[in-house]
Amino acid sequence: MAGNTYGESFKITTFGESHGEAVGVIVDGVTPGVELDEKYIQTQMDRRKPGQSSVTSPRKEYDVISILSGMFEGKTTGTPLFIMLHNKDMRPDAYSDIQYSFRPGHADYTYLQKYGIRDHRGSGRASGRETAGRVAGGAVARKLLEAKGISVVAYTTEIGGIKCETFVEESIEQNAVRACDPEAAVKMIEKIERLAEIGDSCGGIVECRIRGVQPGIGEPVFDKLDAELAKAMLSIGAVKGIEFGAGFAAAGMLGSEHNDEMNKEGFLSNFAGGIIGGISTGEEIVFRIAVKPTSSISLPQHTVDIHGNEKMIETIGRHDPCICPRIIPVVEAMACIVVEDLLKRQAAMHA
Amino acid sequence: MAGNTYGESFKITTFGESHGEAVGVIVDGVTPGVELDEKYIQTQMDRRKPGQSSVTSPRKEYDVISILSGMFEGKTTGTPLFIMLHNKDMRPDAYSDIQYSFRPGHADYTYLQKYGIRDHRGSGRASGRETAGRVAGGAVARKLLEAKGISVVAYTTEIGGIKCETFVEESIEQNAVRACDPEAAVKMIEKIERLAEIGDSCGGIVECRIRGVQPGIGEPVFDKLDAELAKAMLSIGAVKGIEFGAGFAAAGMLGSEHNDEMNKEGFLSNFAGGIIGGISTGEEIVFRIAVKPTSSISLPQHTVDIHGNEKMIETIGRHDPCICPRIIPVVEAMACIVVEDLLKRQAAMHA
Amino acid sequence: MAGNTYGESFKITTFGESHGEAVGVIVDGVTPGVELDEKYIQTQMDRRKPGQSSVTSPRKEYDVISILSGMFEGKTTGTPLFIMLHNKDMRPDAYSDIQYSFRPGHADYTYLQKYGIRDHRGSGRASGRETAGRVAGGAVARKLLEAKGISVVAYTTEIGGIKCETFVEESIEQNAVRACDPEAAVKMIEKIERLAEIGDSCGGIVECRIRGVQPGIGEPVFDKLDAELAKAMLSIGAVKGIEFGAGFAAAGMLGSEHNDEMNKEGFLSNFAGGIIGGISTGEEIVFRIAVKPTSSISLPQHTVDIHGNEKMIETIGRHDPCICPRIIPVVEAMACIVVEDLLKRQAAMHA
Amino acid sequence: MAGNTYGESFKITTFGESHGEAVGVIVDGVTPGVELDEKYIQTQMDRRKPGQSSVTSPRKEYDVISILSGMFEGKTTGTPLFIMLHNKDMRPDAYSDIQYSFRPGHADYTYLQKYGIRDHRGSGRASGRETAGRVAGGAVARKLLEAKGISVVAYTTEIGGIKCETFVEESIEQNAVRACDPEAAVKMIEKIERLAEIGDSCGGIVECRIRGVQPGIGEPVFDKLDAELAKAMLSIGAVKGIEFGAGFAAAGMLGSEHNDEMNKEGFLSNFAGGIIGGISTGEEIVFRIAVKPTSSISLPQHTVDIHGNEKMIETIGRHDPCICPRIIPVVEAMACIVVEDLLKRQAAMHA
């Protein structure tokens, strides 16, 4: 398959399934001599882990990372960082009653078609567990970006039809859904809890802002900044769409409305979302992703088993009724990786 | 920059600027022994060229392609196909009055920031002219897909706020905006003509359907089918968003609504847009892209010149007031390339 | 640095330093459904490990591998195989007296220049320990090749000026230097033991034969079969040259001598070493590599420390006086990886 | 096949067959703002072209290059340079009598096996004509290296058993075989002329020196400087081996002889050929390649036709009896590309 690597100059390769022994990442292309420690990475891992609140899966994964190579005396050496997590709460038997049926919305059917193998122990590489390696790799990228004055923040703007009306950045990590509007957050949490009770799930929208990127980053023509961000985001399991700046609303705008005019101080608006011609403008980079409702629900659904027999299925397990809060650190991680990679590529061009 | 290549097993590398001498493409990884001729490719080129109707730029590009390598006795040899087009209607002087100012919505500013060079002869690689090489390469992919029973069709579903209400496939190539609803098409054309008169422009939405792809195509985890399509589409200049299946609407759905249930005959719905876990389900692959309004408008806009002086600018030239009709062959071309590449990668895995 | 991945369709990414906590490999692009177990891989690891005989380093590494992902019920799943080895015999203090000086022939100086970091705990990624991951990855490739009737064997043909005169394949794994001539092997071992006593080292030549590769494998023009093998072999630490078939002797031959003529049965000779135009001919693929004498010797040598002070240095430690016997499984591993990758790429082209 | 691209940060993609309409190269990743003109590139092309002397093929190729994109006002723009040459002296009929037989030493048989296509018009991508694109791309790299104080020179050290005994650098371009010893050159030319008369050919050895590369260049572990140079050189048609520094002679040396000791001024010897651990030491980088005798000879040889019938064949045509003099600019071009690419990668790592 050979699709488990992302990046060119800053590169991550992940491995591991939800119910195997370990998951992790090799991070290649790391700037040498940068101070880094496991605690820094662990902070990001903890934002992704299940069991953080009433709206996330109660599964305990003990996402404790170890850095097993690429460090010396507290600094990166420039050689590959290897970061691993053991899977400590493996319960393959929890899935055994559904092992021969395709769960609607899950990759069970497509994985069988692709590989000719039915690994019923979870969702294989399609599991959210796979993203642990990304978050670890993203934490390394985030550390490198910090030194360049670049920050990345993502947050929920909509869940189950409830939209944020304000943007209170400091409230994001204070509420269980990581919404930018603390009042909307309360309603979102109520909605999720109600859905969880009846065994259903809901989707939402997550927005991401990248600040401090100098103008000129992004590689025409195929590796544009927005093209790379789009690939990186759509590579996250539950994401079904992405839009930059005005996004789909741009379809209904006039050129005279959408064009970002300039004066001496810079751009007068940012409908482009900080990217024109695939290259950063120096403005805030803004994009939103559509997150589908979690596929695992305990309501009965029509499906077939691997022998083609029709049957009803209920996906009983330990799942997130809404994945938005836990997808946010993954979105940030991938955004960090994309930007660090393109910054390094820009340096290569001018070398 | 080194971002001018797309694909792994089926690969295109494009070159050329809008106002240089030539544009073109090297197509690598072509299946040998496939019948192909310039006429087949030319048919696709003609769908992309300007001057097709009242709603496209009157510029004449004479997009006549030549295949200069990779063919023998009417068949592909497996060695790189080189396809070139001369730029016959270069009029750099048409742009001379704006050569020192940044056109709002254009990549003038970002290119200068990236390269430190101000090439005022048009938009460089950010020009729509660059897509000619993509369409030529896409035609080769389309030929290879035809033999596998795979077809790709894109069409306009919305322009300037006017939405298609019906899907009449055979009408698509019969109207100037390539809309799937012939009645909406009439209104769209009127709208565009009205905007053209006052020197403004508008955006729209283009939908694409890929049929006949077997289940199992797409490479977890980073090179998912939707991730690759997202990258390919966002690499097209005017595209500001993409969504698959239910897309952004999925954010407001419940899991019990969005999950595609199955029976013996297959899937009972296709909210996933034919892709689950990044792998094709065998259903029709459906995605939509947001197309921004054309940046080039002749209304006065605020901008600065390269010395930082504020001024007003009007982009007088030969431009498309709405790029949807001409972006469609580019969307199809990139979709063909993505699918052919992933089909080849699937074959490699099982070899 | 991002140079820790080899291959396109079959891909290995290695990590780990000699004196870190672990080394290992992610193998991506593995054919799914292939029976594999840790024992199969361990067999190859054991051929590489130190302490096998009087002529190898007495260091104990306990190269016990674990497969931590990519397997299900004894078969590959098509998802990345992750294979790890803990470094159990770390003795960084053994190196402490040389930590501020550059050992002649070692990468100490070049690593410092490259990374700006002085990691004195061994040789970092330049250590032979890095090759453990390669051998593990190569064992996976070997398993895939076996099903296709392809075998790879490497052996010593010269050590310390003593050359093999016969080719007795079954004797190779019977003698401590893995020479193809059992009588020469005895002399080679004596020579190595004599050098070890005085603290010196010697080089040698290793030959490799790949059998069963169908004609047509190898990708013109840059990824030729011989070009990929050359890259793979020169990426092994102590290798200073490679030649195919007649190799450097071809420089002194006439075309009428070197050309391999054909009759109905096939080729009448194999001066080309089984590769013409970068593509396999179907004949045995034959190449030889030059292995330099081990850099670590305990004789006094001139060097400087990191402050520029001249001094004498003796590399006391646990080293192989001749690396040929232990480089052989690494050569085979890389050859297996190159061939499996190119076989998959050939399948992709024809898909 | 998708093997027609070399490089990561500085990248060339070549196309074209010996008897097609054109050959050429797309050079991607070019530093913007560098002065360049067609004349600079043409100078290198002229060193490669046939018909330069009595010892090269009398074929006239009129290798006149055109730069068709990537330039503006005499400087590179950072966008892809496209450089093309028309094939003006196509004489496919000259080959028609051999169109159904496999020429010994040529890639006729392997290409048919690979692609299932018999393109009898020459050697397809295996033709020396393919290297024209490399030389053009290499000239661009050479221009970028010049600004960094790096130079590359290659020359013949042995032809037909006659070895150079002196190194007179300024004599290299003064003699028809580009030998570094003017007296040996005279004998080499006599030897080649004698062989040409009887329709035979001979091989030789070419040495290359790269000067001015700072220490620290090359990417552990797979993309080592020597590994990349080995791949690049073995990707050239007639090359059958490569060795660095002491090379194969190192196999017979002791560690105490081969290790390059250091004092305050630097290294006391350069048996390593300027590369240790795959990274440049700052010393001159030195390697040698084995060039096989030209396969095209007019003496009768045994072969079979594509139907399996045995027959005799004489390759009458316009060929070089020894390819060394014309391979030299190709060796230099590839060396320039490898070094420029790795310099850019080093810059990316430290960015």
In single-letter form, the type of residue at position A29 comes to G
For chains B and D, count residue pairs whose Cβ atoms are closer than 8 Å.
152
Contacts of A345 in chain D (CB under 8 A): 9, 348
**Strands, E assignment, B165-251:** 204-211, 239-244
d(CA C323, CA C320): 6
Residue in C closest to B341 by C-alpha = C348
Closest Cα of chain D to C96: distance in Å?
A: 20
pLDDT, tens only, A229-247 = 999 999 999 999 999 999 9
At residue B289, does pLDDT exceed 90? Answer: yes
Residue in D closest to B124 by C-alpha = D79
Contacts of B14 in chain A (CB under 8 A): 221
Angle subtended at Cα C341 by Cα C337 and Cα C343, rounded to the nearest 5 degrees? 120
Strand partners, D154: D208
pLDDT band at A97 (very low <50, low <70, confident <90, very high): low
In single-letter form, the type of residue at position A165 comes to E
Answer whether D299 touches B (CB < 8 Å).
Answer: no
In single-letter form, the type of residue at position C130 comes to E
Number of H helices, E strands in chain B: 7, 18
Has A79 been labeled as part of a binding site? no
Q: Who's near A187: CB < 8 A, 6+ residues apart?
A: A162
- What percent of chain A clears pLDDT 90, i.e. is strictly above it? 83
Q: Which residue has the higher pLDDT, C309 or B315?
A: C309
Contact A26 C21 (CB under 8 A): no
Has C48 been labeled as part of a binding site? yes
**Closest Cβ–Cβ partner in B8, B15, B84 for D2:** B8
For C194, the 3-state DSSP assignment is helix
Residue D223, pLDDT score: 98
**A301 φ/ψ angles, rounded to the nearest 5 degrees:** -135, 150
pLDDT band at B20 (very low <50, low <70, confident <90, very high): confident
Once rounded to an integer, what is the mean pLDDT over residues C189-213? 97
Contacts of A206 in chain B (CB under 8 A): none
Contacts of A349 in chain B (CB under 8 A): 1-2
Closest CA to C230 of D116, D295, B2, D338: D338
Residue C249: count of CB within 10 angstroms of its CB: 16
**Closest Cβ–Cβ partner in D2, D84, D116 for B33:** D116
d(CA C230, CA D39): 34
Residue A43: count of CB within 10 angstroms of its CB: 12
* Mutation site for A-interface testing, chosen from B26, B257, B259, B281 by largest number of A Cβ within 10 Å: B259
Residue C61, pLDDT score: 58
**Closest Cβ–Cβ partner in B31, B220, B351 for C343:** B351
From residue D147, how far is each of A77, D31, D34, D140, D340 by CA, in Å?
Answer: 30, 11, 9, 12, 11
Closest Cα of chain D to C29: distance in Å?
A: 17
Answer whether D340 touches B (CB < 8 Å).
Answer: no
Contact D280 C130 (CB under 8 A): no
Residue C342: count of CB within 10 angstroms of its CB: 27
**D112 φ/ψ angles, rounded to the nearest 5 degrees:** -60, -40
d(CA D327, CA D322): 10
d(CA C297, CA C316): 7
Has A59 been labeled as part of a binding site? no
Contacts 24+ apart (CB under 8 A), A179-184: A179/A155, A180/A155, A180/A156, A180/A207
Contact D303 C261 (CB under 8 A): yes
* Mutation site for D-interface testing, chosen from B12, B23, B27, B72 by largest number of D Cβ within 10 Å: B72
**Closest Cβ–Cβ partner in C2, C33, C75 for A11:** C2
Closest CA to A322 of A128, A146, A66: A128
Residues of chain D with pLDDT under 50: 93
Cα end-to-end span (Å), chain B: 34
Task: Taking the CA atoms of C298, C299, C300 and C305 in sequence, report the sign of the dihedral they define.
Answer: negative
At residue A252, does pLDDT exceed 90? Answer: yes
pLDDT band at C59 (very low <50, low <70, confident <90, very high): low
Once rounded to an integer, what is the mean pLDDT over residues A74-82? 96
d(CA B260, CA D291): 62
Q: Which of residues 65-124 of A touch B (CB under 8 A)?
A: 102, 104-107, 109-111, 113-115, 123-124
**Please, are residues B80 and D15 in contact by the beta-carbon 8 Å criterion?**
yes
Contacts of A1 in chain C (CB under 8 A): 28-30, 78-80
Cα A153 from chain centre: 12
d(CA D288, CA D155): 10
**Closest Cβ–Cβ partner in D195, D200, D252 for C203:** D252
Contact C114 D253 (CB under 8 A): no
Has A209 been labeled as part of a binding site? no
Return mean pLDDT, chain C: 93
Q: Which residues of D227-252 are buried (b: 16+ CB within 10 A; e: fewer)?
A: bbbbbbbbbbbbbbbbbbbbbbbbbb
Classify residue D345 by burial, with Cβ atoms within 10 Å: 0-12, 13-18, 19+: buried
Residue in B closest to C345 by C-alpha = B348
- What percent of chain C clears pLDDT 70, i.e. is strictly above it? 95
**Please, are residues C251 and D203 in contact by the beta-carbon 8 Å criterion?**
yes
**A152 φ/ψ angles, rounded to the nearest 5 degrees:** -135, 130
pLDDT band at A211 (very low <50, low <70, confident <90, very high): very high
Pairing mode, strands C22-28 and C81-86? antiparallel
Closest CA to A70 of A111, A113, A26: A26
Contact B263 A302 (CB under 8 A): yes
Q: Which residue has the higher pLDDT, C127 or B83?
A: B83
Contacts of C230 in chain D (CB under 8 A): 227, 230-231, 233-234, 242
At residue B91, does pLDDT exceed 80? Answer: no
Strand partners, C280: C275
Answer whether D212 touches C (CB < 8 Å).
Answer: no
Closest Cα of chain B to D68: distance in Å?
A: 5
Contacts of B79 in chain C (CB under 8 A): 220
Residue in C closest to A81 by C-alpha = C15
In single-letter form, the type of residue at position D159 comes to I
Contact C11 A21 (CB under 8 A): no
Give the count of alpha carbons within 13 A of D162, CB side only.
Answer: 21
Residue D18, pLDDT score: 80
Residue B90, pLDDT score: 56
Has A295 been labeled as part of a binding site? yes
- Per the omega criterion (within 30 degrees of 0), is the bond before B55 cis? no
Q: Where are the alpha helices (DSSP H) in chain A?
A: 38-48, 108-115, 131-146, 182-198, 225-234, 255-258, 324-350
Question: Which of B326-330, C48-52, C54-58 has the highest average model confidence (pLDDT)?
Answer: B326-330
Question: Which H or E run includes B232?
Answer: helix B225-234
d(CA A123, CA C79): 12
Closest Cα of chain B to C73: distance in Å?
A: 19
* Mutation site for B-interface testing, chosen from A259, A287, A331 by largest number of B Cβ within 10 Å: A259
d(CA C179, CA D157): 33
Contact B278 A160 (CB under 8 A): no
Q: Where are the alpha helices (DSSP H) in C49-181?
A: 108-115, 131-146
Residue C90, pLDDT score: 56
d(CA C329, CA B174): 65
d(CA C209, CA B63): 52
Domain count, chain C: 1
For chains C and D, count residue pairs whose Cβ atoms are closer than 8 Å.
368
Which of the 8 DSSP states describes residue C147?
A: T
Has A326 been labeled as part of a binding site? no
Instruction: Tell me the angle at which helices B324-350 and B38-48 cross, rounded to the nearest 10 degrees.
Output: 140
User: Is the ipTM above a cut-off of 0.90?
Assistant: yes
**Closest Cβ–Cβ partner in C11, C70, C71 for A2:** C11
Has C277 been labeled as part of a binding site? yes
Answer whether B253 touches C (CB < 8 Å).
Answer: no
Q: Who's near A78: CB < 8 A, 6+ residues apart?
A: A30, A31, A32, A33, A70, C1, C114, C115, C117, D349
For D318, the 3-state DSSP assignment is coil
Q: Does residue C16 fall inside a structural domain?
A: no
Chains near D, with 3+ CB pairs < 8 A? Answer: A, B, C
d(CA C124, CA D215): 17
pLDDT, tens only, C91-113 = 554 555 567 899 999 999 999 99
CATH of the domain at D341: 3.60.150.10
* Mutation site for C-interface testing, chosen from A9, A68, A71, A81 by largest number of C Cβ within 10 Å: A68
pLDDT, tens only, A122-147 = 678 888 899 999 999 999 999 999 99
Return mean pLDDT, chain B: 93
Contacts of B348 in chain D (CB under 8 A): none
Q: Who's near C85: CB < 8 A, 6+ residues apart?
A: C22, C23, C24, C45, C61, C63, C64, C65, C66, C132, C133, C136
Structural domain of B229: 5-350
d(CA B144, CA C351): 9
Contacts of B344 in chain C (CB under 8 A): 348-349, 351
Classify residue D308 by burial, with Cβ atoms within 10 Å: 0-12, 13-18, 19+: exposed
Tokens of D249: 């002679």
Closest Cα of chain D to A104: distance in Å?
A: 38
d(CA C203, CA C177): 12
Contacts of C22 in chain A (CB under 8 A): 68-69, 82
For chain C, state the CA radius of gyration.
Answer: 21
Residue A61, pLDDT score: 58
Question: Which H or E run includes D243?
Answer: strand D239-244
At residue B93, does pLDDT exceed 60? Answer: no
Contacts of A9 in chain C (CB under 8 A): 2
**Closest Cβ–Cβ partner in D8, D30, D351 for A347:** D351
